[in-house]
Amino acid sequence: MELYFQLVSDAESLAKACSELGSEEFIGFDVETTDLDPYKGELRLVQLSNGRETKVVDVRAFGSGKELKTSEALKPLRDLLSSKKQTKIAHNAKFDTKWVRHHLGCDTENIYDTYLASVLVGSADGERRHGLADVVQFFLGRTLDKTEQVSDWGAAELTASQIEYAAKDAVIMREVRDRLHERIVGDGLEQVLKLENECVVPIAQMELNGIYLDETRWREQLAVVSKKQAAAAEELQGMLAAGVAQASLFGRPEINLDSIDQVTSALQNLGVPVEGTTRAGALLPLADDYPVVAKLLEYRQMAKATQSFGENILGFIEPTTGRIHADFRQIGAPTGRFSCSNPNLQQIPHEAEYRRCFSAPKGRKLVVADYSQIELRILADISKDKAFIDAFRSGADFHAATAAQIFGINADAVTSDQRSFAKRLNFGVVYGIGVQRFAKMTGLSESQAEDTLRRYFATYPRMDDWLRTQAKAALAERTARTLTGRIARLRFNENDRAEVGAAQRYAKNMPIQGTSADILKRALRLLHDDIQGTSAMLVNIVHDEIIVETDASEADETARKLEDSMLKAGREFLKDVPVKVDLSISDEWSK
């Protein structure tokens, strides 16, 4: 295919190029930068193509630094990118939009992300890669040369080869989009792709915003955790000593607390019924009866926190902003949930000692909101179980109401232990819990667990029917979908009972967890639009939780907008069950 491209490096040519592209329905969009981090590098090129002709804009020719955001010569480019008239097709659009936002000062509107489209249609193929060259090869059967990708984009003068490479990435976008969209339509994924595309800009903005971490508080917390871990290790060594086969001639025997074999042997010698594994799931049911197990779990939790969230997290603070700018992967799991890295802010321990370190700078506040029992509400709405729906409509404590049903007592007589039991059961059902697993979780015998589950499902019969239907469909169709049509394709050996069981549990949970992720993404877009022009900025998300930073003087108004966005998003999906949001305004990340 012959390539026609123009290098644009003056105001008149840029205005003309943007005018020509302004009448197009689709525009291929790409950028070339001198670094992967917009805070460390320079935006060198912006490429725009209608599929026939490509404009390669040399941004450096129009200035540098902050002056780019106010450059009158670049206004036609900013207007074109922020226009909702044309669809901008980009691959991994979050990257491109972050650079445009940070260096040119405008949002890129009406995005079609071919990376996200590829991930959606390839939901079951974990082996397939989704880089642009891989997508071009898979869907178009052609090879895209990416050699120049790692070339010097900061050079005083770019080579003809570099400019041609940049143009090719933009010109192919329309063709990639067309081929991918055939699959999107064929798989019924239009609604979920629209949801994902609309979420790109809010996530790009959130990553640019970053979240503030108080270094002094963090180091104080590390010192406290280190002392607690040492004390827990000392106590655990003493408790395990009696289970060590050979005592030391020089006092108490010491074992490697991080050695699974040594710890397992010591526990077995102490009479703890561990069978080949000391994973948390296997140990939790034993913690109440065996203090040594409870102490082991406590030690491991501290050790993990020290390793994952120690001094290393301070290295992620960006010097120019004093904030952490983590990387959020928009489809981090087949359910549509986000994942996070560098660092993983979604895995920060829930303890207040950790979260209080993430705070608002002076004069600012954090508004923290999360959906209340959203997965249970989704299950009630999807299953159309009247008793389940009425329990939420009544506004009563749902876990207490469930406990009253299970134990055959009045709701006002439910104890905290009974409510906790019912809570574990309610959330266990969302994850497709079975008799054996429930017995291990609660310490009940299998017959007791079976009887409890039978009474539970007798209370909510249509929910039971829906869960059974999902399990059967998993075997027949090998797929599961959210309310938006997001699809997960199930792979399992039908002759392997364990694999079949796992697939059926996943088929029950995926529509629930996935719809929760879809609701959050819709809320993020609504929020992004609603807080434009205010001091509020999105700084973090954790599954069903949103954290916004704002000026103290606007905290109440920001809280209202955040709650409204979350409620509106929930109501777009759930028609029969009320949506509830828990909200707080604080100086630090807390609920």
Q: Which two tokens stand for residue 223?
A: 């010192």
pLDDT band per the 50, 70, 90 thresholds, residue 132: very high
Share of the chain above pLDDT 70, in %: 97
Q: What is the structure's pLDDT at 301?
A: 82
Q: Is pLDDT above 80 for 171?
A: yes
Q: What is the structure's pLDDT at 250?
A: 54
Share of the chain above pLDDT 90, in %: 64
DSSP strands (E only) in 477-521: 479-481, 487-489
Lowest mean pLDDT among 98-107, 263-272, 380-389, 576-585: 263-272
**Buried-exposed string 270-291: b where 16+ CB fall within 10 A, e elsewhere:** bebebeeebeeeebebbbeebe
Q: Which two tokens stand for residue 172?
A: 């192919």
pLDDT band per the 50, 70, 90 thresholds, residue 251: low
Q: What is the structure's pLDDT at 111?
A: 98
Q: What is the structure's pLDDT at 403?
A: 87
* The pTM of the whole model exceeds 0.75: yes
Higher pLDDT, 457 or 357: 357
CA distance 83 to 35: 27
Q: Is pLDDT above 80 for 277?
A: no
Lowest mean pLDDT among 141-155, 396-410, 485-499: 396-410
DSSP string, 73-138: GGHHHHHHHH-SSSEEEESSHHHHHHHHHHHH-----SEEEHHHHHHHHTTT-TT---SHHHHIII
Q: What is the structure's pLDDT at 206?
A: 98
Q: What is the structure's pLDDT at 248?
A: 52
Q: DSSP class of residue 281?
A: H
Q: What is the structure's pLDDT at 453?
A: 87
Q: Is pLDDT above 90 for 21?
A: yes
Contact of 405 with 459, CB cutoff 8 Å: yes
SS3 of residue 277 by DSSP: coil
Q: Is pLDDT above 80 for 124?
A: no
Q: Is pLDDT above 80 for 175?
A: yes
Higher pLDDT, 385 or 264: 385
Using alpha carbons only, give the angle 365, 370, 373 rounded to the nearest 5 degrees: 160
DSSP string, 415-475: -HHHHHHHHHHHHHHHTT--HHHHHHHHT--HHHHHHHHHHHHHHSHHHHHHHHHHHHHHH
Contact of 44 with 154, CB cutoff 8 Å: yes
- Greatest alpha-carbon span in the chain: 88
What is the four-CA torsion angle of 533, 537, 486, 334, rounded to 10 degrees? 160
Q: Is pLDDT above 90 for 264?
A: no
Instruction: State the chain's mean pLDDT as an integer.
Output: 91
Q: Which two tokens stand for residue 247?
A: 């005592």
Q: What is the structure's pLDDT at 204?
A: 98
Q: 114, exposed or middle or buried, with CB in 10 Å at 0-12, 13-18, 19+?
A: buried
One-letter-per-residue 3-state SS of 381-426: HHHCCHHHHHHHHCCCCHHHHHHHHHHCCCHHHCCHHHHHHHHHHH
Distances (CA, A) of 129 to 124, 302, 333, 491: 12, 36, 15, 18
pLDDT by residue (tens digit) across 515-567? 999 999 999 999 999 999 999 999 999 999 999 999 999 999 999 999 999 99
Tokens 């992004």, located at residue: 528
